[in-house]
Structure 1
Amino acid sequence: MKKMPNIEGKKISAKDIPQYTWNADLVDFDGPLLSLFKSEDGEDALFSWLDCSNSRNRWCILPLSRELLGSYLKQETSLLEVFQSLDSFVVFDVTPSHRRTNFTLTNLSDLPQDYIPDPESYLFDEISTDAATALRDEETEEYYLGLDGGMYIDDLSLIPKTYQQLYSFHYGLEHLQRDAVSHSFSRILKGWTGGFSSVNVFTGLRSVIPSIHRVRISELRYNSPGHIKVNLLPKLAEKIESAANYIENEENFRESEQFYKDVYNFFKDHKIAGFEEERNQHERSLTPDTNKEIMAYVDTFFEMMDWTEYQENFKKVHASPLLQLRILLAYYRRLKKLRPYIVRGHLSIGSSLLT
């Protein structure tokens, strides 16, 4: 029976380690060998397989920065260099029941030689998963949120927060083909019952965005006029900009508000609770005809926002038509928060107001 070597270092408990959420497998051979995770604090980490016995697998946790993650995905940095960048890291064992145990805080010099990656341990195309390739190929760009006019401090808080929530939603729609995103979307929506706020939906989707794709502030200038310069995925920014431009138009806004009113009246007529307060009471059984009507509202919203390319994938999310509609309405309420700033010329999505 194979026995794994002891690891020198400091024994720690599971509570000393952040909670991590699986994001993507980067290397897989009859099972994952290297995976990307995200901590509860929003930090990235690689989980690297080290060894196994007849009863356990051994892994280590390698926290890394946005820059180092991007460099590793682009094959500019080796896995060995990721190890070498850390003063310490955690090694742990996983039992057949998937329980993590035997946590040890250690460093590279205390690892057995067989555990240390080769100097040529780059993420070559030959070993990369489709998820790893997709993460590498999606490039972020600079983007502007132009600011002008008399603003208060809560305005400067609301605008980036709302924009981040819209971006998280679009990230979910755009990446539903990635298992971690689709599973998270389904899990979050299933949990949206009994007082679970829709805020948690946007927060949950943000948890599957790796640092290389998060909205990162590059520059903040408020000189009236000024701007927030950010780094993000341009396709998602274009979707938000298009939606904002749509409701900026007065005729379109009346149409979207009428749609919202029609849904509200439908909910009221069918005694469906939890509309404005964004909290879903436990769903009573809805008839097939009612669900069909709700699904028609979902389709109308996608057509109104010109998101038809996402329509079929969104339907595959394991959530009822009612929950699908609720999240779309929650998105609309957030989008509508930005409209007064846009109409008054205080906010320009996609351009700086600096001359």
Structure 2
Amino acid sequence: MKLPSIIGDKLEPKFFSKHTWNADLIDFEGPMLSLYRDEQGQDLLYVWLDCTESTNRWGVIPVSRGALRGYLELEVTLRDIFINSSWIATFSTGSSPKRRNSAKITTVEKLPEVYLPDEDSFLTPEIATDAASKLAEEVTEDYFLGLDGDMYIDDIAAIPRIYQQLYSFHYGLEHLHRTAIQSTLGRLAGNWTGGFSAVHLFSGLNQVTPSIHRAQVVEMRYNSPGHIKLDLLPSLARQIETSAQQLRDNNAFIALEEFYSSTYRYFKENNINGFDDERDSVSHTLPPQVLQRLDELVSFFFRLMHWDDYRTQFGELNIDSLHQLRALLAYYRRLRKLKPYIDSNKLFLGESRLANKPSDPPPES
């Protein structure tokens, strides 16, 4: 049996190398439809198309945020996604190490008709994986980052960037049940022992956040006052507000700063390097009493941040207490950068400042 010919341009294997697996949406004795993301943040569907005795052929299709949400909610068919795609990539896998030498990029018009899904190719509950169902359950809502006072271009750039990093971190904490999150955290924490930058922790978690759950900018309005209107998961926004509340509460902030300073001293006393530059260059095994103390510090940080719901599941990760603490301190360093904006009433979480803007005076008659 021979697979149908694909008319299109040849693709180099590196085209697929930066695609990150996110979740399997249909599984029948193996993945049949999976969600991936490329390095630019574009969601992709990997679709099983055809096979012979020794080869499987796959298709890769870009999918927009709206189309993915529609597909998960049974409003859009897989055929619709195929027909509306700007391109479709195909490749074959088999026993050969050069399994993607046959990769091509084409269009739906050139794709063999047999590869188009059926007219009623909805993601019904009978075929959807648990992961697909959970993705569909969580729905985003509008949320405001209220802005006021004098702002500069670096402020407008910094606030959304910091917020996105905090959001990615909370997405990871609230979705530790997802295999992609667990493997990403484990991989990143494991790499940290060789001098891994904490920046990659946040970008890595963002990379395994599907577009339907990412914080999307809906509107930006600023004329002192103004806002950035986002579409995001409300549960994560509430967790960030809980964290930010510890910055506004003077006693809580003093306790956090003391925790941060005392942890820094403990690191120095025990020759644990890489505290401020977020790089881990520990080359020796830490004694049990130090690891126990670090675990106590992790638990104490969770109490200071009022994150009691996270502690148990965070501890179940295959990450030692040193790397858990490093991740938490990296989060705090970013959170703390929002304090000057909050204290000076330039940033209001969950509130548009346009609602408080005085109305323009009526025109003179």
TM, length-normalised to structure 2: 0.93
Q: CA deviation at 1:170?
A: 0.3
Q: Secondary structure at the match of 1:127?
A: coil
| Separation (CA, whole Å) in 1 of partners of 2:231 and 2:277 | 33
Other structure's SS at 1:258 match: helix
- The Cα shift of 1:17 comes to 5.0
CA distance in 2, matches of 1:15, 1:300: 45
Mean CA deviation greater in 315-324 or 224-233: 315-324
Partner residue in 2 for 1:41: 40
Q: Secondary structure at the match of 2:25?
A: strand
Q: Distance in 1 between matches of 2:294 and 2:211?
A: 36
Distance 1:146 1:307, change over 3 A: same
**Identity across matched positions, percent:** 47
Please state whether the residue corresponding to 1:110 is helix, strand or coil.
Answer: coil
The separation in 1 between residues aligned to 2:154 and 2:173, in whole angstroms, is: 29
- CA displacement, residues 154-202 of structure 1 (integer Å, 9 cap, x when unaligned): 1111111000000000000111101011111111111113332111110
| Contact 1:88 1:106 (8 Å CA) reproduced | yes
Contact kept in structure 1, 2:273 and 2:282, CA below 8 Å? no
* Contact 2:36–2:45, Cα closer than 8 Å, also in 1: yes
Look up the match of 2:363: none
**1:245 alignment partner in structure 2:** 245
**What's the counterpart of residue 57 of structure 1?**
56
1:230 deviates by 0.7
CA contact (8 A) 1:95 1:101 kept: no
More deviation in 301-310 or 228-237? 301-310
Structure 1 residue 84: deviation in Å?
0.5
| 3-state SS in 1 of match to 2:302 | helix
Cα deviation 1:84-121 (Å, max 9, x = unaligned):
10243111011247743410122334333432211000
Letter of the aligned partner of 1:263 in structure 2? T
Contact 1:23 1:210 in 2 (8 A): yes
Match of 1:100 in 2: 100
Measure, in 1, the Cα distance between the counterparts of 2:187 and 2:15: 26
Q: Is the 8 A contact 2:19 2:37 kept in 1?
A: yes
- Residues 55-112 of structure 1 show CA distances to partners (whole Å, capped at 9, x for unaligned) of 2211000101111111111111111111110243111011247743410122334333
Q: Which amino acid aligns with 1:95?
A: G
Aligned-pair distance for 1:352?
1.3
Provide the secondary structure at the position in 1 that maps to 2:159. Answer: helix
Q: Which residue of 2 aligns with 1:269?
A: 269
Residue segments in structure 1 that go unaligned for 5+ positions in a row:
none
The residue type paired with residue 61 of structure 2 is: L
Query: Is the deviation greater in 320-329 or in 16-25?
Result: 16-25
Distance in 1, matches of 2:193 and 2:96, equals 29
Equivalent position of 2:125 in the other structure: 125
For 2:224, the equivalent position in structure 1 comes to 224
Describe the shift of the 1:180–1:16 C-alpha distance in structure 2 as closer, same or farther (beyond 3 A).
closer
Q: In the alignment, is residue 341 of structure 1 matched against residue 332 of structure 2?
A: no
Q: Which residue of 1 aligns with 2:77?
A: 78
Structure 2 residue matching 1:272: 3-state secondary structure: coil
Q: Which stretch has the larger CA shift, 232-241 or 314-323? A: 314-323
- In structure 2, what is the equivalent of residue 143 of structure 1? 143
In 2, Cα distance between the equivalents of 1:108 and 1:155? 44
State the alpha-carbon separation in 1 of the partners of residues 86 and 280 from structure 2: 46
Q: Which residue of 1 aligns with 2:296?
A: 296
Spell out the pairing of 1:250-261 with structure 2 (5 A cutoff). Answer: 250-261=250-261
Specify the alignment match of 1:68 in structure 2.
Answer: 67
Whether the aligned pair in 2 keeps the contact of 1:20 and 1:37 (CA below 8 Å) is yes
Q: Is the 8 A contact 1:94 1:101 kept in 2?
A: no
| Superimposed CA distance per residue, residues 303-337 of structure 1 (whole angstroms, 9 cap, x where no aligned partner) | 22122222122122222211110010000010000
Instruction: Name 1:14's counterpart in structure 2.
Output: 13
What pairs with 1:108-187 in structure 2 (closer than 5 Å)? 108-187=108-187
Partner of 1:207: 207
- Are 2:196 and 1:196 equivalent residues in the alignment? yes
Q: 8 Å contact 2:59–2:89 — kept in the other structure?
A: yes
Q: Deviations over 1:99-157 (max 9, x none)?
A: 43410122334333432211000001111111101111110000011111112211111
CA contact (8 A) 1:144 1:349 kept: yes
What is the RMSD computed on CA atoms of the aligned residues? Answer: 1.5
Q: Is the 8 A contact 1:20 1:40 kept in 2?
A: yes
Contact kept? 2:55, 2:94, Cα under 8 Å: yes
Q: Secondary structure at the match of 1:42?
A: coil
Of residues 115-124 and 90-99 in structure 1, the stretch that sits farther from structure 2 once superposed is: 90-99
- Rate the CA distance shift 1:276–1:97 in 2: closer, same or farther, 3 A: farther
For 1:55 and 1:8, the matched residues in 2 are separated by 22
**1:217–1:228 contact (8 Å) kept in structure 2:** yes
Amino acid aligned to 1:274 = G
Secondary structure, counterpart of 2:6 in structure 1: coil
Is the Cα–Cα contact under 8 Å of residues 272 and 282 in structure 2 kept in the other structure? no
Question: Which secondary structure state, in structure 1, belongs to the residue aligned with residue 197 of structure 2?
Answer: coil
* Structure 2 residues without counterparts, runs of 5 or longer: 357-365
SS in 2 for 1:170: helix
SS at match of 2:102: strand
Count of aligned pairs? 354
TM-superposed CA distance for 1:8, in Å, is 2.6
**TM-score, normalization: structure 1?**
0.96
